[in-house]
Amino acid sequence: YSLPTPRPQGLDQLAIGKTVDLASTSLPPDLSRPISLHFFNPGCPCSRFNIDHIRSLIQSHKSKVRFIAILQGEEPHLSEAFNKLGLNIESVIDSDGSIAKATGVYATPQAVLIDREGRLYYRGNYNNSRYCTTKETEYARIALESLLSGRPPQTFSPQATIAFGCPIPKKIQPRLAPTS
């Protein structure tokens, strides 16, 4: 898991600042607060490594941010596996991949931040460190606090935005650009 997750050929990722098409997803379109999507697969070791970090983000910001776990994977009891973690946030099984497609996520774990206008603010890794213990590279936290402070989206190093972890199941991979 120290190498990047292979990027699907022809991946068409939504650019930062562009509107996320929430209507094409199974997410309730409540934008009363910014949204933090946590793409999680209980079968992915990388998804399990950063649970304590995500728990601290939720505890620090749950009054200002709507946290939603986007469950991925083949496991028949995704919700049960996630609920055992005790994060106490909404969860949605992305069985058709509409949320991964709308946000351009192709691996777990990944963080996606959507501002109150429905625009993509951040998509990327939680941290450089597997267990999210390196304060200087807590990308998702830095982006979340920047969003809550009203600052424009930051440009992060490729370490923040190139996925490391487990690929989204093939049947629900993000939209691909049309081939000519």
* CA–CA separation, 4 and 53 (whole Å): 21
Q: pLDDT (tens digit, 9 = 90+) per residue, 104-159?
A: 999 999 999 999 999 999 999 988 766 566 778 899 999 999 999 999 999 998 88
Q: What secondary structure letter does DSSP report for 3?
A: S
84, with CB counted inside 10 A (0-12, 13-18, 19+), is exposed
Please report the pLDDT score of residue 81 as a whole number.
Answer: 86
Going by C-alpha positions, the residue among 127, 100, 94, 130 that lies closest to residue 112 is 100
**C-alpha dihedral sign at 165, 47, 98, 125:** negative
Distances (CA, A) of 82 to 27, 41, 87, 89: 17, 9, 8, 10
Going by C-alpha positions, the residue among 28, 50, 64 that lies closest to residue 124 is 50
Calculate the average pLDDT of the chain.
Answer: 86
